[in-house]
Chain A
């Protein structure tokens, strides 16, 4: 039984960042702006967050520091994404190009700044955020073992963000307008919706969530930040497409990938898998191969937002 608990706890570390970054990308893409810069924004977020923790960890520690870092990272991610929003909404630029520029900029900036300030590019931090057992909830049999032991507060924040984001896009006036701007901006404009404003909101939300996602990816899986989030931004875009731009399917896709990734990285702790004569690298490949196969069977009817990637031009209404 302890193996099952272990797999579930590990899955959370992988799936939660993927989930909220993919949800962020969903907000951007369903407002009509392709945001391939999620990777770059995650790196920027992780950089700012870990740097903040590195500086302030002498003065405070634990959950207070982490929550403060998350707030700062959210702002940083939002600000950084403004560059993409400006290029793709005001300047009507090719969204892939400006996204690629951001992806290239973030790690270079993180390494450059870290090396100029502290000499080396790795930024160390002490993990004072790990929770062995949540009081009361952690004592519940089975469920407590699964979800409330050996965890991070970021897991619950991530799930909270997902619930709010899924509700907002489906059930609020803002969500409806956002979706309209991604499907048919001309129609939205004709009934008085400010397309540019909505798209700005979409991109900024994606930036905020990607920033947070970057930080909460690094914290459980490492003790230093080396200007990389291991391609999770790109994987989150894969999860978004895999999840057909719909929040519930994204949830499933993120956990599918998270479980696969956990099995790949922690198979040696699972007696049954360890006894199989399969090399390490094959396990590492499995998540990607599985995603390809699932996509081959599920992509026939793509539900991509129709106006995605097309700058809105009032003249073409």
Chain B
């Protein structure tokens, strides 16, 4: 038993975890300083609102937090999965938008399907659309050596304009400049969660997201396929030498990443929450939040789940903070500070490793090795 605890203390997990916590503390402190400098009297109350986040409004707040966290967990998973395989998927926004549109389109038009099947069809359409949006940068990277960062940025814009056009031609509500409402049968079932969290938009979306987290965790850590993908990310030449088809790995990584982000789009809009896709020339912010979530969760699926929940939590806090006349953007400032400190905390990690090395060196000396 003692040995087991020692192993946990010595493992990477605890180091990563403690450096993430340190980064979060630093980020929150920075946010507090910003609040203090803009309005000293209210700063304390505003800051408490952030810390309480979803818990301020009891059960309702927690339900709202889970609803907000769902799409960014999915985009975070998309970005994090691509990171693990050595790709920077900055195109999660485009994949998210493509998936969201496919889901809404199927949700509005395919009313001939029975309710349960209708929802499933909408989810599958979203996965497919997201996967296609990820496939393009993947193919370009694998066969034409096009940098995936630039091609997925381009795909973000193409997706945004294409989806705007498609909305206006197919499922457009002209009065409100947004999509029509999805048929009831296509919305995600609530499965009793609305009884658990009354008055919120919660549905099984969060459970689907958790399922995806587990799935990606298993793929990355327990399968040969995942190992090959990771190997290609770490060292493409070595994996090629070991007989791994690097081109196939790159394409598949991007397809899976795209599918995850696309599904995220479906989970956000198939919720009967009064949120509709707007026709705006703005890239979906969920994709960029996904980058934050992935970085905060250190690209580890389990870490991403908690990072997504954390960001959902303080985002709800940000809304509540408007009571005290603070702009909710301070949340983004805090998240950026956390990520920045997270980048620096690699240093902190190295420090722990160094201390450990010294300790074990001393021990070895004592034992006369």
Residue interface bits B145-164, CB-to-A below 8 A is 1, else 0:
11101110111111001101
Residue interface bits A244-287, CB-to-B below 8 A is 1, else 0:
00000000000000000000000000000000000111101100
Beyond A108-B329, A231-B283, whether A288 also contacts B157 by CB under 8 A is yes
Q: Which residues of B have CB within 8 Å of A279? A: 165
Q: How many residues of A contact B (CB 8 A)?
A: 47
CB distance from A38 to the nearest CB of B (A): 12
A94 vs B168: C-alpha distance when bound (angstroms): 41
Q: Kindly state whether residue A12 has any CB partner on chain B within 8 Å.
A: no
- Chain A residue, CB-CB nearest to B153: A234
Q: Is A92's CB under 8 angstroms from B346's CB?
A: yes
Q: Which residues of B have CB within 8 Å of A83? A: 340
Q: Is B336's CB under 8 angstroms from A295's CB?
A: no
Q: Which residues of B have CB within 8 Å of A111? A: 327, 329
Q: Kindly state whether residue B144 has any CB partner on chain A within 8 Å.
A: yes
Q: Which residues of chain A (223-239) have a CB below 8 Å from chain B?
A: 231, 234-235, 237-238
Q: Kindly state whether residue A242 has any CB partner on chain B within 8 Å.
A: yes
Q: Which residues of chain B (66-104) have a CB below 8 Å from chain A?
A: 88, 90
CB distance from A294 to the nearest CB of B (A): 10
Q: Kindly state whether residue B59 has any CB partner on chain A within 8 Å.
A: no
- Chain B residue, CB-CB nearest to A113: B38
Residue interface bits B336-353, CB-to-A below 8 A is 1, else 0:
110110111011000000
Q: Which residues of B have CB within 8 Å of A168? A: none
Beyond A291-B154, A302-B147, whether A100 also contacts B291 by CB under 8 A is yes
Residue in B88, B90, B147, B330 whose CB lies within 8 Å of A299: B147
CB distance from A154 to the nearest CB of B (A): 24
CB distance from B42 to the nearest CB of A (A): 11
Q: Which residues of B have CB within 8 Å of A91? A: 343-344, 346-347
Q: Which residues of B have CB within 8 Å of A284? A: 161, 281
Q: How many residues of B contact A (CB 8 A)?
A: 48
A-B contact count (CB 8 A): 141
A116 vs B331: C-alpha distance when bound (angstroms): 14
Q: Kindly state whether residue B39 has any CB partner on chain A within 8 Å.
A: yes
Q: Which residues of B have CB within 8 Å of A300? A: 144-145
CB distance from A219 to the nearest CB of B (A): 20
Beyond A100-B295, A285-B162, whether A237 also contacts B150 by CB under 8 A is yes
Beyond A91-B344, A93-B347, A100-B291, whether A281 also contacts B161 by CB under 8 A is yes
Q: Kindly state whether residue B184 has any CB partner on chain A within 8 Å.
A: no
- Chain B residue, CB-CB nearest to A292: B154
Residue interface bits B10-30, CB-to-A below 8 A is 1, else 0:
000000000000000000000
Q: Kindly state whether residue B194 has any CB partner on chain A within 8 Å.
A: no
Q: Which of B150, B337, B347 has the most chain A CB atoms inside 10 A of its CB?
A: B150
Q: Kindly state whether residue B272 has any CB partner on chain A within 8 Å.
A: no
Q: Is B343's CB under 8 angstroms from A112's CB?
A: no
Q: Which residues of chain A (48-68) have a CB below 8 Å from chain B?
A: none
Q: Which residues of A have CB within 8 Å of B157? A: 231, 285, 288
Residue interface bits A200-236, CB-to-B below 8 A is 1, else 0:
0000000000000000000000000000000100110
CB distance from A258 to the nearest CB of B (A): 15
Q: Is B144's CB under 8 angstroms from A101's CB?
A: no
A103 vs B165: C-alpha distance when bound (angstroms): 28
